[in-house]
């Protein structure tokens, strides 16, 4: 029993000693120059390891002892035992040079890989053919480098892989990465607005483009979400999707009550809100004018078409106004689709009214009598001024990062403050049309807010610091930042700011689509090329470069 107690006491003392004693510092062996004669070199200075430059075998730092190194030489390389020190130094130098060349080659490949993605991104943003990189960019860059730097720099540039397939693959990767970023942001948010529009490309395929607007960390952002090819019909069922807000151009396939996209979405989400494109509403409202003014517009178009539709008449008219010393060189052709040109067409016709009158009189056209009528000329000038105002309004509705509230205010202000001051009799149809498409908006009654939110709103309106913040930032930035301090009030405000007011972004994408997918490139898969070209969200280059293989042959 006593022995057992003594043994137990000794074990406790030993345990206490182990706990109180500090561990002995581990000893590291340093590399010596004499180890080169044994076929070894060092890998690093902090914690060196022995690397055999004859077979590339790596030994731990604990094995960096002369006995271990000599044993490795005798067992693995017995035919080199007894060689001179100069032999081993030469082998070590060859091994080091080979390592440096490999590092340089790897570094050059990585730089070429990075440059390749940069050029592909520029090519996509410029909406140019993929073959341009290999046919023009690389040869031109090589010529510039050889002329200004030297042949070595030109040879390095030629190693950048930019074949057609390579450029296409890299643009697809960047487009996919942009969409992945956007989807992650949408999943992190509570809701988003969706803008949809559909058009037909040069190959006859229907392309559906969608933009999203969402609340980000510091502002409301908008980016392109996808560009999908619609196979077969373009009905509401084909483009059906569940969203928070929808802004369309009021086409039947979009807004149909039974089979339209809105109808399908409303079945899944009854709280859906949708808006008719403000730009299209303004264009439709502008078309309704009085019969008298409409007759003047038609006569003006007939006069222009009489001159512009026949090449001979166009050449004779060109010679006429050159002889008369006119400021302009030609008339503008009117088309019903391009309604923005209507004001420019009428203004140009009014400025060249004397030349047109002479030409029509020489050709014995009955339209010449109109240009001799001062009353008709006055109405033509008046009509040109009205369409100029409407044209300015239409242009003011276009652009990015514009909320539906701003768009509506601009439209209502123009017909209330400008149009109503002019000839109400002649423009009665226009005014009634604007009232129909843009009814009076009742100011939101603050009494509908709960009492505590009304008190918050009152405190907010008297806060000097918030007034300064509001003056120095946009409306969307103000409310996004304010939701942290006033979450419920900010949420109420942000319910009305994200919805799109027009399909302007989709229209600009269709313009880019015509530049990307041409007759010569009618088999191009459009989605990733279009996304990379028009996206304001940059691709994550560092992530893409890490995932890809840096090799000049790829």
Which CATH number, 3.30.70, 3.30.420, 1.10.3470, 3.40.50, labels domain 180-279+501-547? 3.30.420
pLDDT tens track for 7-55: 656 666 666 555 555 455 566 777 777 777 878 887 765 667 788 888 8
* pLDDT of res. 414: 66
| Site of tokens 């809105």 | 262
Measured distance CA(418)–CA(286) in Å, rounded: 14
Question: How does pLDDT run across 162-185, given as a tens digit for each residue?
Answer: 888 889 999 999 999 998 898 888
Above 80 in pLDDT, residue 284? no
pLDDT tens figures, 109-145: 778 888 889 999 999 999 889 889 888 999 999 999 9
Residue 100: the pLDDT is 64
Q: What is the pLDDT of residues 362-416, one digit of tens each?
A: 888 888 888 888 888 888 888 888 888 878 777 777 777 777 777 777 776 766 6
Q: Provide the pLDDT confidence category of residue 245 given band limits of 50, 70 and 90.
A: very low
**Could you tell me the maximum CA-CA distance found in the chain, to the nearest angstrom?**
141
* Residues making up the chain, counted from first to last: 554
Q: Where are the domains of the chain?
A: 33-83, 105-168, 180-279+501-547, 285-437, 446-494
Please give the mean pLDDT across all residues of the chain: 76
Residue 448: DSSP 8-state: G
Half-sphere exposure of 413 (CA within 13 A, CB side): 11
DSSP 188-205: HSS-EEEEEEEEE-TTS-
For 269-299, b/e burial (b = at least 16 CB within 10 A) is: eeeeebbbbbbbbbbbbbebbeeebeebbeb
Going by their DSSP bridges, the two strands 50-52 and 40-42 should be labelled as antiparallel
Prediction pTM value = 0.62
pLDDT tens digit sequence for 468-506: 777 788 888 888 887 777 778 877 877 778 778 778 888
Alpha carbon distances (Å) from 114 to 117, 118, 175, 469, 543: 5, 6, 16, 41, 11
**524 SS3 class:** coil
What was the pLDDT predicted at 143? Answer: 92
Of 544, 537, 540, 547, nearest in space to 221 by CA: 537
């Amino acid at each position: 029993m006593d022995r057992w107690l003594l043994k137990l006491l000794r074990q406790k003392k030993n345990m206490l000693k182990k706990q109180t004693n500090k561990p002995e510092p581990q000893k590291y062996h340093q590399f010596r120059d004499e180890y080169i004669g044994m076929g070894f070199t060092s890998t690093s200075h902090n914690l060196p390891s022995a690397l055999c430059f004859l077979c590339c075998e790596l030994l731990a730092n604990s094995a960096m002892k002369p006995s271990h190194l000599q044993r490795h030489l005798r067992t693995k390389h017995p035919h080199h035992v007894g060689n001179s020190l100069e032999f081993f130094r030469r082998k070590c130098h060859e091994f080091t040079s080979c390592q440096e060349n490999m590092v340089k080659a790897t570094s050059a490949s990585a730089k070429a890989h990075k440059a390749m993605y940069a050029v592909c991104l520029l090519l996509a943003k410029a909406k140019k053919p993929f073959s341009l990189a290999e046919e023009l960019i690389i040869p031109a860059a090589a010529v510039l480098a050889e002329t200004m730097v030297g042949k070595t720099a030109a040879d390095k540039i030629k190693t950048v892989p930019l074949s057609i397939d390579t450029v296409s693959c890299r643009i697809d990767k960047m487009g996919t990465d942009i969409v992945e970023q956007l989807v992650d942001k949408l999943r992190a948010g509570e809701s988003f607005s969706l803008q949809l529009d559909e058009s037909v490309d040069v190959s006859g395929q229907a392309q559906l483009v969608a933009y999203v607007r969402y609340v980000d960390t510091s502002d409301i952002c908008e980016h392109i979400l996808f560009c999908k090819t619609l196979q077969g019909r373009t009905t509401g069922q084909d483009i059906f999707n569940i969203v928070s807000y929808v802004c369309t151009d009021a086409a039947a396939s979009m807004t149909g009550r039974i089979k339209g996209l809105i109808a399908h979405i409303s079945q899944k989400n009854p709280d859906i809100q949708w808006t008719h494109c403000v730009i299209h509403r303004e264009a439709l409202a502008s078309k309704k004018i009085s019969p008298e003014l409409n007759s003047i517009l038609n006569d003006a178009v007939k006069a222009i078409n009489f001159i512009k539709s026949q090449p001979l008449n166009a050449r004779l008219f060109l010679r006429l106004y050159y002889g008369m010393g006119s400021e302009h060189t030609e008339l503008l052709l009117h088309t019903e689709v391009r309604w923005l040109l209507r004001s420019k067409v009428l203004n140009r016709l009014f400025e060249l009214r004397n030349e047109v009158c002479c030409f029509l009189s020489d050709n014995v056209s009955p339209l010449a009598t109109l240009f001799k009528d001062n009353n008709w000329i006055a109405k033509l000038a008046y009509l040109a001024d009205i369409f100029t105002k409407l044209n300015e309004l239409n242009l003011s509705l276009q652009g990015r990062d514009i909320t539906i509230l701003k768009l509506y205010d601009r439209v209502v202000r123009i017909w209330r403050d400008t149009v109503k001051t002019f000839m109400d009799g002649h423009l009665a149809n226009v005014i009634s049309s604007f009232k129909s498409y843009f009814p009076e908006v009742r100011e939101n009654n603050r009494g509908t807010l709960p009492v505590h939110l009304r008190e918050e709103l009152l405190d907010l309106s008297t806060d000097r610091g918030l007034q300064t913040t509001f003056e120095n930032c946009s409306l969307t930035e103000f409310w996004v930042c304010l939701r942290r301090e006033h979450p419920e009030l900010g949420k109420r405000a942000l319910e009305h700011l994200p919805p799109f007011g027009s399909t302007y972004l989709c229209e600009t994408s269709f313009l880019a689509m015509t530049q990307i997918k041409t007759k010569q490139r009618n088999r191009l898969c459009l989605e990733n090329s279009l996304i990379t070209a028009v996206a304001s969200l940059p691709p994550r280059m560092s992530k893409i470069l890490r995932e890809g293989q840096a090799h000049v042959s790829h």
